[in-house]
Structure 1
Amino acid sequence: MKCNWSFDLNLYQVRELAEKDSENGVFRTLRSDVTRFLTTILIGTTVVNIGATALVTEAATTLFGEAGVSAATGVMTVAILLLTEITPKSIAVHNATEVARFVVRPVAWLSLVLYPVGRVVTYLSMGMLKLLGLKGKSEPYVTEDELKLMLRGAELSGAIEEEEQDMIENVLEIKDTHVREVMTPLVDVVAIDTSATLVDFHTLWVTHQYSRVPVFEQRVDNIVGIAYAMDLLDYAQKGELLESTTVGDMAHKPAYFVPNSMSVWNLLREFRIRKVHMAVVLNEYGGTVGIVTLEDVVEEIVGEIFDENDSNEEIQKKTGYIVMRAEGVFDVDANTSIDQLSEDLNVKMPEYQCLCLFPPGFSSPTTIG
């Protein structure tokens, strides 16, 4: 059993046990030098297996002559598989922490006795790797792909809900998602001119219920600031004339600009640092192509968010971008992202940004109407 517990107890479990251990505890030693423990286990297992096989073979040949070699081979094969492989591994897989606590001290003592031999074996193995032109690589214990597989397994086993799996996977993926994939295109942006009065701003707010509105000067792609609906209350309470005050007089906070190639993860970090909820998105030429909000980022993790102010048209736009007309025939919003379409229809799509960029005459296993 000692030969298996260390392989089933992952490094994070070792770290947890070490943190709970005393200052000079054996798990702290294990965490600092895992190779030493593994070498001890492998040497001990090899010596025991070889020694036991030699003794049984000697006894069998004494009793049965040359036929004893075959008998000893069969008996030891079954014994080694059952006693040192299958049974110990099965126990260790299901009770790794308990088994580790039970055997770690004997293994630690044995490692002191076998330390010189272990060091020699370690140096020899490192030398062989160098001769073969191989180098030890420091890689993550669990890669992102392996973590996703673990999440899917946990969801299938019922350990976590499907929504929880999706949220965790979305968190892992936002660092590879660009701002251009989640932004609101400029053509769909609701903005207001600096020359508009606060009455106009109030009318716009009543219509759309947006708490923040981009402010542009002369052209909608020339965004110069952000107007906050809450500021209307301040002007009203002060008795200011809403008809004679312009949005430009009120929008004192400058806009925050980000490139469309920025990752959503970095954008979220910048939002937190700068304490802003909206950014203006620029392309590689410095032209304005849209806006992105904190809500857009959060929706990448938890899915679409609606509130009591969202109109049926807005909800339909967010949820009804794919409508099935017949078997294998769909109506799809041209601005639908390819990633979203591939995920919802479970088909492999070419790597374009949105459906509207498909080349003429494109066909796929799924017909897009």
Structure 2
Amino acid sequence: MTFEPWMAWTGLGILCLLAFSGFFSGSETALTATSKARMLTLEKEKDHRARRVNLLINDRESLIGGILLGNNLVNILAASLASAVFLAMFGEAGVPIATLVMTLLVLIFAEVLPKTYALSNPDRMALAVSLPIRIFVMLFAPVVAAVQWLVRATLRILGLSVEGPVLSAHDEIRGQIDLHHQEGGVVKTDRDMLGGVLDLRELTVDEVMVHRKSLVMFDIDQPVEQLVADALSCPHTRLPLYRDDTENIVGILHVRDLARELHNAGGDSSKLDIESIKREPWFIPETTELLEQLTAFRQKREHFALVVDEYGALMGVVTLEDIIEEIVGEIEDEHDVTVEGVTPLPDGFILVDGGAPIRDVNRALDWELPDDEAVTIAGLVIHEAQTIPEAGQIFRFHGVQFEILERRRNQITRMRLKKEPEAEDADD
């Protein structure tokens, strides 16, 4: 084995190339793991490094292509130089020795070490490397573009296509929220509220409305004294008025308007003209998206709308509070009538009203019952059972046991739920 001066210089060059390889590897990890939201915030604060980072990650294909080009270039060059040195030192045995030594050096110092640091400090490192990586990507842009064209052409020949992201921006945000919740960074209430905001685009008013069977309506032609007494004793402030038939809604009586006119009349309800007090009803289709309806409420400065189906039949009512509750959860005040919805029992069962929305049950219990085919828990049972169950029947689907406790006519009013042990173990 002989050692010549050129080998020392070559060895120094190999170390420099390994440092460049580590730089490219760490930069790739940092720029792909950095928080885009954090970078956008820093860019708004006039941080030029953050602006460069955003430019790089916005063109992720060119970024990755440029970094891979540089990384492979220095790795191959380092391996070639090492082979030349070891061949001169050990003869034919130098090739396997060079392969082993360079594999260890590249793995430890050019891959694991820089990537470990980059994962621990992605934002800091991304800001630090943004300028040299930006310059390198710009210099080698033509080469990267040619490689990209060749890759896409090859994929087309193979019958494969390169599409955009599989997940929409909303799905990516939802996934990030769920991930941080699992890691303990986001508490359940915050996760539910953030998810509720995203769900506004996917829900329609018929999924959150108060069904017509639960509405409180008044006959506008009944004696005014009786109407006033009933309206003032009602826990609701906006009351639909009908004439002759409950389908014929002729107006909305606001209790504040009623109280003001009653005060002006000196408390004599017989002097009131309900026709002049009532407001015009606002009808909306049941397929209206919640986000669209929320915007309409704000624009019209209204809080109350009547929901009708495609035939114009009254389905129920939706209020601004109903939509807000999809974000923040149930809102109750001193005038709300307490309704049993989801009540945990000492024996591990959950007492649930049949009319409880599936979304509310999922939120309360952190379950994932499907709500595609039904809105309420009772509707889910009927859909899955393909029949209207009798009291005492027990069903098991979606990892939950459903025991029917009460049924009135064709309506399931109360049931007991319990997560199946197998489903709980699978979730764990």
TM bin (shorter chain): 0.7 to 0.9
Letter in structure 1 aligned against 2:74:
V
Residue 29 (structure 2) pairs with residue 9 (structure 1): no
8 Å contact kept, 1:258–1:281: yes
Give the match's secondary structure for 1:367. strand
**Closer, same or farther: CA 82–142 of 1 in aligned 2, 3 Å:** farther
Residue 404 (structure 2) pairs with residue 366 (structure 1): no
**Closer, same or farther: CA 67–17 of 1 in aligned 2, 3 Å:** farther
Give the match's secondary structure for 2:145. helix
Residue 100 (structure 2) pairs with residue 88 (structure 1): no
- Stretch of structure 1 that moved more, 221-230 or 153-162: 153-162
CA displacement, residues 34-59 of structure 1 (integer Å, 9 cap, x when unaligned):
54443322111011111111112222
Indicate which of 342, 346, 356 corresponds to 1:336: 356
Indicate which of 265, 268, 271 corresponds to 1:244: 271
8 Å contact kept, 1:194–1:246: no
Residue 293 (structure 2) pairs with residue 267 (structure 1): yes
**Closer, same or farther: CA 14–341 of 1 in aligned 2, 3 Å:** closer
Question: Residue in 2 aligned with 1:203?
Answer: 229
**Closer, same or farther: CA 120–334 of 1 in aligned 2, 3 Å:** closer
Question: Residue in 2 aligned with 1:286?
Answer: 312
Indicate which of 235, 240, 247 corresponds to 2:261: 235
CA distance in 1, matches of 2:262, 2:388: 54
CA distance in 2, matches of 1:122, 1:149: 29
Aligned residue pair count:
361
Letter in structure 1 aligned against 2:401:
T
Q: Aligned runs of 1:35-184 on 2, under 5 Å?
A: 35-139=61-165, 143-184=169-210
Following superposition, the deviation at residue 142 of structure 1 comes to 6.3
Give the match's secondary structure for 1:209. coil
CA distance in 2, matches of 1:112, 1:261: 50
CA distance in 2, matches of 1:61, 1:116: 36
Following superposition, the deviation at residue 257 of structure 1 comes to 0.9
Structure 2 residues without counterparts, runs of 5 or longer:
1-22, 406-428
**Closer, same or farther: CA 323–151 of 1 in aligned 2, 3 Å:** closer
Letter in structure 2 aligned against 1:360:
I
CA distance in 2, matches of 1:161, 1:258: 36
CA distance in 2, matches of 1:31, 1:355: 45
8 Å contact kept, 1:259–1:281: yes
**Closer, same or farther: CA 142–65 of 1 in aligned 2, 3 Å:** farther
Following superposition, the deviation at residue 198 of structure 1 comes to 5.1
8 Å contact kept, 1:214–1:223: yes
**Closer, same or farther: CA 148–29 of 1 in aligned 2, 3 Å:** closer
Question: Residue in 1 aligned with 2:376?
Answer: 354
Give the match's secondary structure for 1:176. coil
Structure 2 length as normaliser, TM-score? 0.74
**Closer, same or farther: CA 96–142 of 1 in aligned 2, 3 Å:** farther
Task: Name the Cα RMSD after superposition.
Answer: 3.0
Following superposition, the deviation at residue 6 of structure 1 comes to 2.3
**Closer, same or farther: CA 115–338 of 1 in aligned 2, 3 Å:** closer
Letter in structure 2 aligned against 1:67:
A
CA distance in 2, matches of 1:116, 1:338: 55
CA displacement, residues 260-295 of structure 1 (integer Å, 9 cap, x when unaligned):
222222221221122110111112221002111111
CA distance in 2, matches of 1:339, 1:31: 36
- Stretch of structure 1 that moved more, 187-196 or 340-349: 340-349
Give the match's secondary structure for 1:366. strand
Give the match's secondary structure for 1:335. coil
Residue 277 (structure 2) pairs with residue 257 (structure 1): no
Question: Residue in 2 aligned with 1:276?
Answer: 302
Following superposition, the deviation at residue 161 of structure 1 comes to 2.3
- Stretch of structure 1 that moved more, 135-144 or 278-287: 135-144
CA displacement, residues 196-242 of structure 1 (integer Å, 9 cap, x when unaligned):
45543442243223221112122222212211111124323433752
Letter in structure 2 aligned against 1:303:
G
8 Å contact kept, 2:262–2:272: no
**Closer, same or farther: CA 157–341 of 1 in aligned 2, 3 Å:** closer
**Closer, same or farther: CA 347–166 of 1 in aligned 2, 3 Å:** closer
CA distance in 1, matches of 2:102, 2:248: 82
CA distance in 1, matches of 2:134, 2:346: 68
**Closer, same or farther: CA 323–247 of 1 in aligned 2, 3 Å:** farther
Letter in structure 2 aligned against 1:366:
Q
Letter in structure 2 aligned against 1:335:
G
